[in-house]
A and B are shown apart, each in its own frame.
Chain A
Amino acid sequence: MTTINLSQPLDTATRPDNYLTHTRGFMSWAFTLDHKRIGVMYMVSVLISFFVGGVFALLVRTELLTPGQTIPGVTADVYNHFFTLHGAIMVFLVIIPSIPAALGNFIMPIMLGAKDVAFPRLNLFSYYLWLFGALFTVSSLLLGGFDTGWTFYTPYSTTTPAGGVIPALTGVFILGFSSIFTGLNFIVTVHKLRPPGMTWFRMPLFLWAIYATAIIQVLATPVLGITLLLLIVERAFNIGIFDPSMGGDPVLYQHFFWFYSHPAVYIMILPAMGIISELITVHAHRHIFGYKFIALSSIAIAIFSFLVWGHHMFTSGQSPLLNTLFSLISFSVAIPSAVKVFNWMSTLYKGNIVLNTPMLYALSFLVLFTIGGLTGIHLATLNTDVHLHDTYFVVAHFHYVMMGSALIGMIGGLHHWWPKMTGRMYNENLGRIACITVFIGFNVTFFTQFFLGSQGMPRRYYDYLPEYQIYHVISTIGSYIMACGFLLTAYYLLASLFGGRIAPANPWGGRSLEWQCASPPPFDNFATQPRVGDCYDFTAIRWDEKEQGYVVDPALDSTKNPQLAAKNLH
């Protein structure tokens, strides 16, 4: 049953045994099979990578303050390494694993009322694969780095003199397997470990999103692995696959690459959408609106994601027929995305909204995702894409989706589940300030780049014409504002670990299972398998002064009161 007991307020001095204190020492973490610890290790690793990728982003933006060289010593070649590393780190080491592997690992089994994921050893193995992949990728720096762009387009990637291309490719290859195993693990977990009473359409929407993501991970990532292997073979042994001077076809590489990397965009955004579904309903204390449409739209997006890769190649020499089909199918992604946005907004209607930090991130997500989605129309339309392709318009668009939506969603989720993960509350006011700072900085940085791109500035440029400078200066200032927001976030989150208020089991008033076990959760999550009701039914949630958190009023709890349960069936 739930660990919240109204007659026994949580005594802060004698915190019950939890997953952080259950065992101690380095080995207890390095060889842990506990999904929560693995989730925390992922989270720490991802956040460190985010910091490194962010430093490269700031270097890129600073270098672009003036045409030609701005930072002493940063030549065109060094700059090319910077943006390549920024892209590769942010995509492969940060965004792809951030939500499923870090937050998903921690939250998913608890949401299911399970003790762990289906394959705990495989889970730990995934983490070590991630670690080795990351080490390979970063070690390429010592071997001469790589300047291919994160896309590794041939024949540049097979002919560049940079020495670190093969280690980097190997690293990404290994990271791919980490992602595949995580996906596999989560699919089995969702299928086999749902508690009695939790039918598919009673799962929290975060689980739907994670499940849809896992399907893409398992089906798309192997293609990336094979492609990168072919690239390694071509570069190392001069076997002509993609290089036309050896009888290959560079456009074939683009097809292979985007066959993975377009679905990968949904590996990034779908789990963030899942988080937003949770954040909005919990912080509006209001049943989610249109559950089935949101759940099924996740699956629709996962399916469409496999059919649109060619929209990255409208100017590549792909046939007009293919371009036409890919343009048409790309537009179809707009429908499930629009459904989600409108349903989230309807969830606010007649809600009980509290503007906590996680809610502010959720609202930021709605605004930024709307911009990212709408500007996708310009790029999916064939004739306008001819002008905008490979310009800063594309850069701005995908940052709105990958950072403004996927990463903002992740950070919102981090704030939402931070009390659960650490057992501490962070400073709410600083949280709000940081969120607003990041939101403003983000828009200054990237909205400017829409103008930059539509005015004709191509991407991946070290040097540029003076007429574009004003946009670059504004964009760089925005990136500094954003950096301040993130540094503030790092500060108050770290400070909360040492001096933060002890978190109650349910600080926000959530109804899904993770809010029914203590913060931080005990080693086995739940002593007995909990009963499951409607995870979005907030009628029984009450604020409790003694607890300083929300509790479930047993008198109104439909999981214990069959009559109420019958009445709540709409």
Chain B
Amino acid sequence: MNIASTIFSNLLAGDPREGRTLWLPPQDSNLAVNSDLMFWWINVVCYFFFIGIVIALVILVVKYRMKKDRPFRTDGPLHHLPLETTWAVVPLFIVIFIFYFGFRDYLNFMTPPKNSYEIAVTAQKWGWLFKYPNGATSDDLYVPTGRPVKLSMRSSDVLHSCYIPDFRVKKDLVPGRYSYLWFQTDNVTPEGAGHNLFCSEYCGTGHSNMNRKVYALSQPEFDTWLTAQSQWLDKIPEEELYFRAGPKLYARCMQCHSLDGTKGIGPSWKNLWARVNGGEDGKFVDGTSYQSQIGAGKQYQTPEDYIRASILNPGEHVVAGYANAMPSFKGQLNDKGIDAIIGFLKHMDEFDTKGKYLKEAAPSPKVSMK
């Protein structure tokens, strides 16, 4: 088992996390312990029956091959009630045992402790937003170690499912409902080795790119991070906003909006500012054009108004050729964040096609994302 798992984990190039075995990824939550034990015992049962059945099959087939020149042997029994009852009843007891232990542990999965640290999770096509009690938000999940963490989750469009393999936890996010998921991890995540977080319920184009990282920090480190995270936008001076906050916020938009002109789920941001400023005219799905909607005395007084409305109420005017796919970012971006995006759009020529600022070496941020 150990040799096999060493060989196998060596095959897994590029994974810095330790503790992977042949069957399971690193075990990093309190819930994983019993779940893995259960997995192991079920495996023992499976190996036992599988190997037994295969050996029996081989022996039977070899021993009772037909002899060409002899008449059929007809001395085999036709039925055997005690034997048949045995192999109906023995598996029954085994599976009842397995059921019971799986059920007992599952109740633990379903019962977040009262003192859990609560993080609000919103999933939408195709990203996650983690919101902490002090109002800070993040794209990756940061949790404190040594105490239970409860995710209170909702979806703003279709079904998603929050899955953290290293913690052995998973729960669907159902639009119109809240669902809970909890875990406790006691190990601080080593540098560069965040746990994977996947969306495991199919949700369309970007389903496979909703993976994020989970970082567990010690309580003091977590508190420091949390404070910084809640203030990072406020601390940036207005004049530096577009190049310091813009690219960082853009990370949540890049799933659908390219910077190099490629058509994505949504329109590319290349030349977008010029387009809405009366450059080449474009059409909306309802047949109206940019120029008939944007400008003094029209629906959107200024291009800034239009961008702001597109972020907060994206279904109002969908650009022709695109589906109404964008979720609202109401409550997720404050005015300063929207200002940063607008500034980013205005100064698009100062960034490369990945959103990297070209004018100077990226200014050392006083507030690190860790």
Contact = CB atoms under 8 A, between A and B. Distances in A.
A23 interface: no
Contacts of B206: 76
Interface stretch (B133-141, B161-169, B276-284, B336-344): B161-169
A191 interface: no
Contact of A454 (B23, B34, B98): B23
Interface in A330-349: 331-332, 334-335, 338-339, 341-343, 345-349
Interface stretch (B14-22, B112-120, B237-245, B357-365): B14-22
A396 to B, nearest CB: 12
B91 A349 contact: no
B80 A370 contact: no
A403 B77 CA distance: 32
A320 B65 contact: no
A332 B96 CA distance: 9
B78 A458 contact: no
B99 A470 contact: no
Given A345-B56, A383-B35, A456-B198, A467 B12 contact: yes
A378 B11 CA distance: 25
Interface residues of A, number: 96
A370 to B, nearest CB: 5
A193 interface: no
The residue in A80, A378, A381, A570 that gathers the most chain B C-beta atoms within 10 A of its C-beta is A381
B37 to A, nearest CB: 9
Interface stretch (B100-108, B221-229, B294-302, B306-314): B100-108
A458 B199 contact: yes
A451 B4 CA distance: 13
9 nearest CB pairs, A to B: A456-B165, A244-B176, A350-B76, A382-B106, A381-B102, A461-B208, A458-B200, A331-B95, A467-B15
14 contacts: A155-B159, A156-B159, A245-B176, A288-B78, A327-B103, A342-B87, A348-B64, A350-B64, A350-B77, A352-B65, A382-B103, A454-B24, A455-B20, A542-B71
B75 interface: yes
Contacts of A377: 42, 45-46, 95, 98
Contacts of A71: none
Given A341-B53, A349-B76, A381 B204 contact: no
Nearest to A366: B57
A538 B360 CA distance: 89
A338 B45 contact: no
The residue in B39, B67, B166 that gathers the most chain A C-beta atoms within 10 A of its C-beta is B39
Contact of B78 (A251, A287, A465): A287
Contacts of B95: 331-332, 334-335, 377, 380
Contacts, number: 282
B34 A383 contact: yes
Given A382-B103, A461-B208, 19 more contacts: A80-B205, A161-B323, A291-B79, A293-B79, A315-B171, A317-B179, A320-B110, A335-B91, A351-B64, A351-B73, A353-B64, A366-B57, A370-B50, A382-B102, A384-B42, A390-B161, A456-B196, A459-B200, A463-B208
A259 B348 CA distance: 53
Interface in B43-94: 45-46, 49-50, 53-54, 56-57, 60-61, 64-67, 71-80, 83-84, 87-88, 91-92
Contact of B64 (A352, A371, A378): A352
Contact of A460 (B25, B39, B105, B207): B207
Nearest to B111: A320
Interface string B187-224: 00000000010111111111111010000000000000
Interface in A311-328: 315-317, 320, 323-324, 327-328
Nearest to A319: B110
The residue in A293, A354, A458 that gathers the most chain B C-beta atoms within 10 A of its C-beta is A458
Contact of B84 (A339, A462, A465): A339
Contacts of A382: 102-103, 105-106, 109
Interface of B: 8, 11-15, 20, 22-25, 31, 34-35, 38-39, 42, 45-46, 49-50, 53-54, 56-57, 60-61, 64-67, 71-80, 83-84, 87-88, 91-92, 95-96, 98-99, 101-103, 105-110, 157-159, 161, 163, 165-166, 168-172, 174-177, 179, 196, 198-209, 211, 323, 325
Contacts of B13: 466-467, 469-470
Given A76-B206, A390-B201, A320 B106 contact: yes
B168 A386 contact: yes
A448 to B, nearest CB: 11
The residue in A328, A363, A389, A455 that gathers the most chain B C-beta atoms within 10 A of its C-beta is A455
Contacts of B60: 345, 348-349, 351, 353
B161 A348 contact: no
Interface of A: 76-77, 80, 147, 149, 153, 155-156, 159-161, 243-245, 249-251, 284-293, 315-317, 320, 323-324, 327-328, 331-332, 334-335, 338-339, 341-343, 345-355, 363, 366-367, 370-371, 374-375, 377-378, 380-387, 389-391, 451, 454-456, 458-467, 469-470, 538-539, 541-542, 570
Contacts of B92: 334-335
Contact of B25 (A292, A293, A456, A541): A456
Chain A interface mostly: helix
A386 to B, nearest CB: 5
A371 B57 CA distance: 14
Contacts of B169: 386-387
B132 to A, nearest CB: 24
B200 A317 contact: no
Contacts of A331: 95-96, 98-99
Nearest to B66: A352
Nearest to A387: B168
The residue in A159, A244, A383, A459 that gathers the most chain B C-beta atoms within 10 A of its C-beta is A383
Nearest to A463: B208
A338 B87 CA distance: 7
A159 B174 contact: no
Contact of B49 (A316, A320, A374, A469): A374
A416 B64 CA distance: 20
Contacts of B53: 341, 345, 366-367, 370
